[in-house]
Every structure is written in C-alpha cells, then in structure tokens.
Amino acid sequence: MALIVVVEDEHELAALLKRQLEGEGHQVVVAGDGQTALILAGQR
C-alpha cells in the first residue's frame, strides 16, 4: 500500500488517523508540523 504522511498538531486526531490508515494497510508517518513532515518524507 501507500506511504501516507499525516501532518496534524492535535495528537489525538493524528493518532486516530494513523490507526485508521494502518488498519487499511497503509504505512503511516505522523508529523506535528509541515517542516517535520518534509524531513520525515525525505528520509523514506
């Protein structure tokens, strides 16, 4: 499946999205801001 980067600063919502997407078979990376998301996505 796809690698999905979730950018969300609200921890509970990010965790919910991560759990849901992983349940559908996706690999999920969570970042609290855009700059961190770009760094994490670049490492993959």
Q: What is the mean pLDDT of the chain?
A: 95
As for how many domains the chain has, the answer is: 1
Question: What does pTM read for this prediction?
Answer: 0.84
Which structural domain, as residue segments, surrounds residue 38?
Answer: 3-42
The reported pLDDT for the residue numbered 30 is: 96
Which parts of the chain fold into alpha helices (H)? 11-23, 34-42
Average pLDDT over residues 1-29: 96
Of the pLDDT bands very low, low, confident and very high (cuts 50, 70, 90), residue 41 is confident
The pLDDT of residue 44 is above 80: no
The gap between the terminal CA atoms of the chain, to the nearest Å, is 14
Average pLDDT over residues 31-39: 95
Q: CA triplet 15, 7, 21: central angle to 5 degrees?
A: 45
Query: How do strand 27-31 and strand 3-7 relate by DSSP bridges?
Result: parallel
Count other Cβ atoms within 10 Å, centred on residue 34.
Answer: 11
What gap in Å lies between CA 8 and CA 11, rounded to an integer? Answer: 7
The reported pLDDT for the residue numbered 43 is: 85
